[in-house]
Amino acid sequence: MRVARTVAEVRAAVRAARDDGASIGLVPTMGALHDGHLSLIRAARAANDFVVMSLFVNPTQFAPSEDLAAYPRDEERDAHLAAEAGVDLLFAPGVAEVYPPGFATTIHIAGLTDVLDGAARGAGHFDGVATVVTKLFHIVAPDDAYFGQKDAQQVLVIHRLVRDLDMPVRIVACPTVREPDGLAMSSRNVYLDPASRERATALNRALEAAAQTVAQGRVDAASVLAAASTVLSAAGIEPEYLELRSPDDLREVDRVETTALLAVAARVGPARLIDNRILEAAP
């Protein structure tokens, strides 16, 4: 595996791969790799000839009060895991390479970014995501780009970005990878002490309770949200949001007609965690 620090190095490596007829897969990450990230790399490896992984803690998607300084960083470990999983090129730039002096451009996607994490973290969060992803797509020019379904809103935002700006990139959303006890894998899980780690499992259990409620035929939003809220309350968790929305455009829905996205975010101890589930009504 080769490590590139500059845009010029990445473009040269990708150009050489293209000249050999290779298809290009991109896995954007902020590092602190876990099995969720590795599942994206494996999916990219299976479908593409040349796999690029970016390793960049993007400062523009963090609000001033968030955990940018504390976000876990271990490039040596991440590079080792990436190489083992099949990455051909690791793009690990410094901040000045991505945002050089005088950088003044921001990508804003209206509508989808106004709710859920956009409302909780501020409008700048998804502006930062959309801007850095746009840059990565222009730098790498991948055929396919891989993202985790745990960040369901982010996946929708990136789909809209690609559609609206006519980017020739196929977005591949891969299933959420979970710990044996159901906790969604996240780089921020390292913040959890043992007691908080146990409490955090309530997020997935709340989603499961909601899914069971729908399976029993109670598909109105009040019943679905009450089932999830009961589990969270029993664990002493007050969610930042717990909402039932359309999986296509994130509009609020009042019942599960066919499918609906149940999304939750909560602070558990020092960690802010998110999770979601697609709920399906019985035929």
pLDDT digit string (tens) for 10-59? 999 999 999 999 999 999 999 999 999 999 999 999 999 999 999 999 99
DSSP class of residue 61 equals G
Q: Measuring CA to CA, which residue among 214, 204, 212 is closest to residue 263?
A: 204
Q: What is the pLDDT of residue 65?
A: 87
Q: Where in the chain is the domain with CATH 3.40.50.620?
A: 2-174
Q: Which of 37, 80, 108, 125 is catalytic?
A: 37
Which CATH code for domain 192-278? 3.30.1300.10
Q: Is 150 labelled as part of a ligand binding site?
A: yes
Q: Residue 122 burial by CB count (10 A; 0-12/13-18/19+): exposed, middle or buried?
A: middle
Residue type, 262: L
Whole-structure pTM over 0.95, yes or no?
yes
Long-range contacts of 242-248 (CB under 8 A, 24+ apart): 242/206, 243/115, 243/116, 244/279, 245/115, 245/116, 247/152, 247/278, 248/156
For the domain 2-174, what is the CATH code?
Answer: 3.40.50.620
Is 32 annotated to bind a ligand? Reply is yes
Q: Is 37 known to be catalytic?
A: yes
Q: What one-character-per-residue DSSP string does 176-199 give?
A: PPB-TTSPBP-GGGGG--HHHHHH
108 is annotated as contributing to ligand binding: no
Which of 245, 255, 246, 252 lies closest to 221 in space, CA to CA? 255
Q: Where in the chain is the domain with CATH 3.30.1300.10?
A: 192-278
* CB neighbourhood size of 223 (10 A): 16
